[in-house]
Amino acid sequence: MLDTDAAIILIDRLLKDVGTRQDAGRLAFAEVQIDSSSQATSRFANSHMTQNQAQDATTVSLHLAGRESECRLSTQDISTGGLARLVDDAYAALMLLPAAKDPPAETAEPSDLIDSGQILDESRYDPACAALDASERGKAIKRMIQKADGNDQPEAIQLAGILANGQRLVAFGNSRGVRRVYRETFIESSLTGVIRNCDGSNATGWAKGHQTSMRDLDLDALTDRALAITARARNPREIAPGKYRVLLEAEAVLDLLGFIWWDFAATSHLDRLSPLAGKIGEQIFGSNVSLRDDVFHPLQSGPRFDGSGYDRKTVDLVKDGVLTGLVTGSRSSRRLSALSPDIQLTGHGLPEPSAMGEIPANPVFLPSDPRSMTIAIDDSVPTIVLNRVWYVREVDPSRKLLTGMTRDGIFMGGQEPLKNMRFNISLMDMLQSKSIVAMGPARRAAGEETFPAIVPSMIVDDFNFTETTKF
């Protein structure tokens, strides 16, 4: 993958090539975005190592904004010839495009930046994480498997999963002199335990973690969690479908809430695609729900600048259940400023041109009581604990009605294993005060349906199970 110096050199070379073209005067500005990453993954199944693989990938994207039209082209060929073709093709595409109805989205000026002199941000770069090799990953996986082998159960627990680590560089530069580079590392592990039921079928348990530094991911604790869930999941019984009180672990909460992130993007409101459109200042959720987008949160990840080079700002999206703000990019903030002079650019834009506009990439769900360190089940009310949801799909966007299934650990009262079930729930209903019974502490959770975010575990009423599944 590219290092910081190589990324800056590449950006300068491309922008110089763009600027020396005969028709460069037709441009309002040009932008270059680089995404370069390396990732190494060790896989195991049936408590045996199966694969080590490593890959590097670099994508260079060139955005040309003309006076009346704009285009973006990308390439993974970063040779001299490949970059020359990228510029040639981008100019050719720009000349062929018809005039757009709206002018191009703006790009950052050096004066727009909080610290225009700081190019490199390595605040989430862990050298130990970047240096972790196949041998060290193998040793860690051996310890996981040994834990499974030593688990005192009537049936053996087989362990499967991945352990991956890597690093990523995101670089941005434009023809107005802005240069920004962000580097981070990551380590991720997903574990599935498998145990045999008395009837010959399998029961499973699962745990996943994703962090930007080695010290923040406790692989021993993650393994213990996966094994404990697997052991409890053995010999599940079936219960009747219906509405139940449910404790959603943070990973389950995350994979449900991921379907509402886009509804806090200004573009989804301008295009009338969000059920929250036109409701700023209104009570949309229960008074115990507050949500913020905060790239500076110590458990977050990702660059502190957006696809147009602007600084990301912390935005209160929901406060005590009231919709208080939206994230914006340069295009949506300009469109909204015509409706309200108070609208500000928050620095959440995707690389332009983009039909999606922007996204809150760093959600932080704030529990109503930040001092809470535990979440307890009321033994007097039948409560089902959901370790994980999967295959979640949106059924009705206007109500945020979702359907999905449980997987890898579902327990009555947190102990008695149950067979998996399908559910239909509305996020708009689930996030009301009458539904939310309690919330635990917020933590960084990693699921499968969306990117990691800071969310709490949650007890909710009237979670609607419609049928048992066939597995």
> For 62-95, what is each residue's pLDDT tens digit?
999 998 889 999 999 999 999 999 999 999 999 8
Mean pLDDT of the 302-306 span:
97
212 and 263 belong to one structural domain: no
pLDDT category, 245, cuts 50, 70, 90?
A: very high
DSSP secondary structure, 112-156, as one string: GSTTTT--EEEEE--HHHHH--HHHHHHHHHHHHHHHHT---SSP
List the domain range (segments joined by +) for residue 214.
Answer: 4-230
What percentage of the chain reaches a pLDDT higher than 90?
A: 86
pLDDT greater than 70 at residue 371? no
pLDDT greater than 70 at residue 254? yes
Calculate the alpha carbon distances from 313 to 178, 277, 305, 344, 351 in Å: 18, 22, 9, 10, 17
pLDDT greater than 90 at residue 25? no
433 and 464 belong to one structural domain: yes
How much is the pLDDT for 60? 98
98 and 44 belong to one structural domain: yes
177 and 315 belong to one structural domain: no
286 and 159 belong to one structural domain: no
Q: Which two tokens stand for residue 435?
A: 């539904």
Mean pLDDT of the 365-372 span:
73
How much is the pLDDT for 370? 62
More confident residue, 235 or 367: 235
How much is the pLDDT for 416? 97
Mean pLDDT of the 205-227 span:
97
How much is the pLDDT for 64? 96
Among 181, 205, 230, where does a domain finish?
Answer: 230
Q: What are phi and psi of 368, to 5 degrees?
A: -65, -30
How much is the pLDDT for 373? 63
| Of 270, 286, 289, residue with least CA distance to 338 | 270
251 and 214 belong to one structural domain: no
pLDDT greater than 90 at residue 391? yes
How much is the pLDDT for 45? 96
How much is the pLDDT for 470? 79
CATH number for the domain that contains residue 159 = 3.30.2290.10
139 and 282 belong to one structural domain: no
pLDDT greater than 80 at residue 155? yes
176 and 91 belong to one structural domain: yes
| 284 vs 306: CA distance, rounded Å | 28
pLDDT greater than 90 at residue 324? yes
470 contact partners, CB below 8 Å, separation of at least 6: none
209 and 277 belong to one structural domain: no
Mean pLDDT of the 417-423 span:
97
pLDDT category, 357, cuts 50, 70, 90?
A: very high
Q: Whole-prediction pTM value?
A: 0.94
pLDDT greater than 80 at residue 213? yes
Could you tell me if 332 and 264 are in contact, meaning their C-beta atoms sit under 8 angstroms apart? no
Q: List pLDDT tens digits, range 118-145.
A: 899 999 999 999 999 999 999 999 999 9
261 and 176 belong to one structural domain: no
218 contact partners, CB below 8 Å, separation of at least 6: 209
187 and 266 belong to one structural domain: no
pLDDT greater than 80 at residue 369? no
pLDDT greater than 90 at residue 215? yes
Mean pLDDT of the 243-257 span:
97
Among 178, 202, 230, where does a domain finish?
Answer: 230
146 and 160 belong to one structural domain: yes
pLDDT greater than 90 at residue 364? yes
pLDDT category, 23, cuts 50, 70, 90?
A: confident
pLDDT category, 268, cuts 50, 70, 90?
A: very high
pLDDT greater than 90 at residue 224? yes
How much is the pLDDT for 343? 77
Mean pLDDT of the 298-310 span:
97
pLDDT category, 340, cuts 50, 70, 90?
A: low
Q: List pLDDT tens digits, range 433-452.
A: 999 999 999 999 999 999 99
What percentage of the chain reaches a pLDDT higher than 70?
A: 98
How does the average pLDDT of the chain come out, rounded?
Answer: 94
| 1 vs 130: CA distance, rounded Å | 12
How much is the pLDDT for 83? 96
How much is the pLDDT for 339? 65
Count structural domains, the chain. Answer: 2
Among 195, 230, 265, where does a domain finish?
Answer: 230
Question: 392-420 burial by CB neighbour count: b if 16+ within 10 A, else e?
Answer: beeeeeeebbbbbbbbbbbbbeeeebbbb
pLDDT greater than 80 at residue 153? no
Could you tell me if 336 and 348 are in contact, meaning their C-beta atoms sit under 8 angstroms apart? no
pLDDT greater than 70 at residue 17? yes
How much is the pLDDT for 341? 67
pLDDT greater than 90 at residue 365? yes
Calculate the alpha carbon distances from 23 to 17, 18, 345, 461 in Å: 12, 9, 31, 63
Residue identified by tokens 């352990």 is: 163
